[in-house]
Amino acid sequence: MIRSMTGYGKGELAAENRSFTVEMRAVNNKFCEFHIRMPRIFNPLEDRLRKLLSTRVFRGRVDISVSYRTHSAQDAKITYNEALAENYHAVLTAISRKFNLRGHDGDILGLVAKFPDVVEFEKDLGDDALESLWTDLEAAANIAIDGFLAMREAEGTALEASIREKGQNIGQLLSIVETKAPDVVAGYREKLRKRMEDALSGIAVDEYRFLNEIAHFADKAAIDEEITRLHSHLAQLSHILDEGGTVGRKLDFLAQEMAREANTIGAKANFADISKVVIELKGEIEKIREQVQNIE
């Protein structure tokens, strides 16, 4: 199974007195990066969540958002930072007096309460409570991961089909190049003989030197090895896709090698009919290179 690196998943779990929502989004990345946003009281659970994710997601930048709601008055405790509140209140009152601003203590209190870390939500997380919370969070996270991977697999299936189609197109174009390859030397032989005959003006052409030049050119323009290697790369492409799993890096490297062989064929076989086909060949390979960037 081939997976895309982009995806989205959402998991919700409602327990007796609380509920969890976990959302996941991912974009392309060479490595695997998890960026988790969750209430600070769950910081002790972050490492567990990372380990859970790492067993099922292997590549891409993944943003995870965890939200939590409690339905029990005994389950939560609201406190405030007295020293910080006093400082904010003193500063706001001084500003109000300095600029002769009209306002009531209630207005200033409302502003103070909005500043960071003045009013805080606390929860006494003992070991039992922590384990209970992890059980619910893990369940919600697994629901999110299931949906996330389902989307990745659906996109991966479409990518695989497209890459296979382009691989077949490359194979067909490569067959055309093979058919036209002998014409490169034949065309050069005709052009060289005509140029030599025109230059010599009726003097007999030195066949030994002529054939030696043709042999030298044929050696330089030979593209048999490149064609063979490109056929091998196409077979590897099909094998890797059949293999499935986390193959994005393999496919990326293989596409680079295919592009290198195509460039060499174009450079060595300096022949108009082949050049036209090589342009199409390189175009198909480039499309594969773009698509494998999105494979896990």
Burial of 86 (0-12, 13-18, 19+ CB in 10 A): exposed
Choice between 222 and 228, residue whose per-residue pLDDT is larger: 228
Give the pLDDT confidence of 23-50 residue by residue, as tens digits: 999 999 989 999 999 988 888 899 999 9
Residue 215: band (very low, low, confident or very high) from pLDDT cuts 50, 70, 90: low
Residue 284 — very low, low, confident or very high, per pLDDT cuts 50/70/90? very high
If 0-12 CB within 10 Å is exposed, 13-18 middle and 19+ buried, where does residue 211 land? exposed
The pLDDT value given to residue 180: 80
Please enumerate, as own/partner, the contacts of 95-102 that have beta carbons within 8 Å and a separation of 24 or more: none
Classified as helix, coil or strand, 46 is helix
Residue range 50-72: mean pLDDT, rounded:
91
Q: Are 108 and 92 in contact (CB under 8 A)?
A: yes
Which pLDDT value is given to residue 33?
96
Confidence of residue 16 (pLDDT cuts 50, 70, 90): confident
Give the tens place of pLDDT for each residue, 238-262.
999 999 999 999 999 999 999 999 9
pLDDT at 274: 81
- Per-residue pLDDT at 112: 65
CA distance readout (Å), 144 to 2, 37, 190, 245, 280:
19, 15, 68, 20, 42
What pLDDT, on the 0 to 100 scale, is given for residue 291? Answer: 95
Confidence at 71, pLDDT banded by 50, 70, 90: low
Structure confidence at residue 201 (pLDDT): 66
Backbone angles phi, psi at 122, to 5 degrees: -125, 155
pLDDT of residue 255: 96
pLDDT grade for 53, boundaries at 50, 70 and 90: very high
Q: What is the reported pLDDT for 238?
A: 95
